[in-house]
Structure 1
């Protein structure tokens, strides 16, 4: 068990921050502002997906580095960290749903509900930042 790499975490957290800044800059105030095949929608979806991807990659690597095993799914990664006391259980549940959003975007299993994307882009960044803060606190402790 080697623990969480502080330098890697700082670099990845900065990357997530940049992606979330792009989401915030392009997210219309009204959900109806996200429309199919629009530049705003493309930017919000792309950068939100990237922020989620980096975050769940950190969850998986943290499980391995903390000696918690290699989780079979992204959702399992955050739930494993919650079981180990690294993150709050409710936060882990929300992050597991974020992993589901990531899967939907990547695998294009269905058309995206743009009202839901707007809600995720409005509320989800706080969860990603809370997760990064929990890892930072763990790495510092």
Structure 2
């Protein structure tokens, strides 16, 4: 399967938009996150969508590079890191991000507003 560069570029543009929106939320006082469930919900959704775009891009790269299907989303980044596609530092951050995405998606545990902020 050939890497669809247009699709990757669209995902990167969308990711950039999500990050800009999250930066706007980040400019809110910390109390907004701890006192307003609406702000917290907006932040959680924005983070989830940004995480998912990143995962989608990693899945495309992994498939193109022939790394095989991962068992868990975090394994996408482990594979990219081990093959030198991304730095170890970025790999660890993205693995942690995948864990947060799962926590938000499946509500394994209540996400602390402080963690979102």
Normalised TM-score (structure 1): 0.75
Cα offsets for 1:40-87 (capped at 9, x unmatched): 211111011100011012112211111111111111100101111110
- Whether the 8 Å CA contact 2:18–2:50 is kept in 1: the answer is yes
2:36 and 2:103 mapped to 1: Cα distance? 17
Q: Which runs of 4+ in 1 moved over 4 A?
A: none
Any gaps of 5 or more consecutive residues in structure 2? none
1:29 and 1:40 mapped to 2: Cα distance? 9
- Whether the 8 Å CA contact 1:32–1:115 is kept in 2: the answer is no
Cα RMSD for the two superposed structures: 1.6
Any gaps of 5 or more consecutive residues in structure 1? 119-141
Normalised TM-score (structure 2): 0.90
- Whether the 8 Å CA contact 1:75–1:96 is kept in 2: the answer is yes
Alignment of 1:54-65 (within 5 A): 54-65=53-64
